[in-house]
Chains A and B, each alone.
Chain A
Amino acid sequence: MATGYHRIIMKIVLTGSLFFLGSSSVHAGVLVQCPGDADGSATWTGAEVQPAHTKCMHLGAGDGFVTMADGKLQYVFGFSDLTGIAANTPTGTAEILEAGTTAAGFPAPLIVLDEGDEFYLTLTNIGMSMRPDLFDPHTVHFHGFPQAASIFDGVPDASISINMGSSLTYYFKLNNPGTYMYHCHVEAAEHMQMGMLGSLYVRAAQNGTVFNYNGKDFNKFAYNDGDGSTGYDLEYPIQIGSFDSAFHDANLAVQPLPFATMFDNYSMLNGRGYPDTVNPNPLPPPAENGGKLSQIESTLITASPGESVLLRISNLNVTRMNTLATLGIPMRVIGKDAKQLRGPDGKNLYYKTNSITVGGGESYDVILDIPAGASGKTYFLYTTQLHYLSNDAEQFGGMMTEIRIN
């Protein structure tokens, strides 16, 4: 681990010297761009003033470890949340590299935005501590962003990606609410199998107004529906994913990567297999990453009778499509791919179902209307591809969680 860390410092020194030699007009190294933020923390503290409709975030890209539900330690690439660490201090770069080293989380930090926001997303490439032979650049692909500009689309073939020890700030003006997702697009089959995936959604501008739908008042909505039909009380991001542990082990052991034989054996929701999905707390950190929490997202769904629960479901699995089903409560599907299911002349295309099949790169907005008499009951959200209800060889786990009614 020390090797990688020192290599990163060397990289900073190197790029820094090149900068002072006058070869560039832009600061090399860690650089957070966030309006109103003077100390490079991507937050506003003290005298700093947050401009209206502005959000900032600082992600690190690197590697780390997570634990599968059967106890298997898994090497991952991933993103860490560095927001709040001031970059513009004498020790800022060192603090950021320290915080980001082997800090990869799975899934990646949840990103929640509001329609109308201007979003400044800084990505710092921390580097791979466990793979000092790798010099991979990284990107953030805001998957599904409408009317995207190539420069901020995060596809390395089409534009730019950021090298180790440096930062790239993406800019997104959020005009459209919905359920998106994000991931690194560099060497996508590898970096995504390795875990550089996360949930991202944009809340609707209609939030805060009140619409009565089916006899109930709502002030939160998945979309600007004008009639409350996408209203909800609670929202949960659900990201479908799965790992091929042989691929991860080969990566950690610096072996040729088995792309052709890639076959996932751990099926998960939000980075965990059942029963870890219903653990409301962060999973205990593996010792191998220095005690950093790497699986903070629970998928335990709790609600009260009569409430409407919005599931923001996305799939970033790289090997297969997945079917998710509910047992006991029908799914009311009101959106797909960050668009309300509504025809061009206003016809609602909503439908009720017990299962949806979600391919990689697809998202669905599903509302569960909890029945009035459901108090104390437990329902299940699970894959009907029943062989994925497993954590490798351990039976009855995998892609499942519980919906517990208060």
Chain B
Amino acid sequence: MKIYDKPVIVIGVLIFLAIFAFPLWTALGTTPPQPKVELPKDMKECVAPTEYMKSSHMQLLNEWRDSVVRDGNRVWVSHTGKQYNMSLTNECLRCHNEKSKFCDQCHNYVGVVPFCWDCHTYPKEAK
């Protein structure tokens, strides 16, 4: 197969690829920014194992919501046998008391906007 003006086209394609891949080669060797989650200092354990909370806290919150609102059951017995009050504002935020240093870190990082805060309140933070 014959390509007319082959050198010009090849160089053009290479230049295009170089520009197109600009975000990739400029970021080579650098580490992307990581979310900085600040954990409560005086507490050792959460309502469920850390790995589970990292991956599935949203499912857990949905289960809590259904249990509290629809079944009227408000006490959570955790994997270690400790009892908790199933409440986002009154229990989760009691330890994780700065939303911007905990919740928002990952949510902003992955670009999700949970609508919890449309209704549920969180402690006021210094701006």
Pair from one complex = no
**Chain A residues in contact with chain B, CB under 8 A?**
none
